[in-house]
A and B are shown apart, each in its own frame.
Chain A
Amino acid sequence: MKFGIMVNEGPYTHQASDSAYHFAKAALAKGHEIFRVFFYHDGVQNGTDFTTPPQDDRNVVKRWSELAEAHGLDLVLCVAAAQRRGLVDEEEQKRHGKSGHNVAPGFRISGLGQLIEAGIQADRLVVFGD
């Protein structure tokens, strides 16, 4: 089956991103396809490279990056949500004159159309939120 995944909460405060990660990993292990993971609302915070959680805790952001690397996952941060919440890639850094960029490996910033497309193209869209 082809899944689309939507993550609506940031890391650590909510378990939504953990659950989405475990779901994605399990689905891939069973041979399913993940069409795209779309991060919305505070979910875009899952894509910041600036997180440094304690070493005895899971690294939610890095885990997504590694899963993307291993399986060629398409991890998309909503641009409007990202701009509100300080998620900036190199291009956005230049455009808005920011002091740095913080989009973690494997993530990219794009528009809400990518979410709708995931809903249309996937057999199931699974939403993880509060």
Chain B
Amino acid sequence: MSEAGATKKLLYVNRKAPYGTIYAWESLEVVLIGAAFEQDVSLLFMDDGVYQLVKGMDTKGIGMKNFSPTYSALGDYDVNKIYVDEDALAERGLALDDLQHLVWEDENEDWAEKDSIHLVGRDEIADLLEQQDVIFNF
């Protein structure tokens, strides 16, 4: 669908907690629709956005749809570069083990299962932002 050629680098920056506001869910809706455009997509979770990936979510008590399972489908949409601010995790008493184990299958390596989540420091985040053509900030 991208007329006139070159693939662009798209980054979705997720900075807010999964519930309390709708930004996390509506960001995910953009990512899912955007996947059809076959661009070079990355996701970055920072600030309270790191809570979006925490495993074992149960939303019954707040009467809202639990959209956590949707993140595990991202690999099937070729969304497999998911960066998480390791300092933001640590500041909230969280570690990689507290997050969902998100994976994708690499068709170039006989569908080997690979991790989608990469912990990054703030210098790396600066580089990541610098490399992008388009940044969606949620």
Contact = CB atoms under 8 A, between A and B. Distances in A.
Interface of A: 6, 8, 40-41, 80-81, 111-113, 115-117, 119-121, 125, 127, 129
A112 B34 contact: yes
Task: Label chain A's interface by main secondary structure.
Answer: helix
A116 B26 contact: no
9 contacts: A8-B138, A40-B30, A112-B30, A113-B1, A113-B33, A119-B10, A125-B134, A127-B136, A129-B137
Interface in B92-132: none
Contacts of B134: 119-120, 125
B33 A111 contact: yes
Interface residues of B, number: 21
5 nearest A-B residue pairs (beta carbon): A119-B134, A112-B33, A116-B34, A116-B37, A125-B134
B67 interface: no
Given A41-B23, A112-B29, 8 more contacts: A6-B136, A8-B138, A40-B26, A41-B22, A41-B26, A116-B10, A117-B1, A127-B135
Contacts of B138: 8, 129
Contacts of B30: 40, 112, 115-116
Most buried by B among A40, A115, A121, A129: A40
A63 to B, nearest CB: 24
Nearest to A123: B133
A120 B39 contact: yes
Most B CB contacts (10 A, CB to CB) among A8, A115, A116 go to: A116
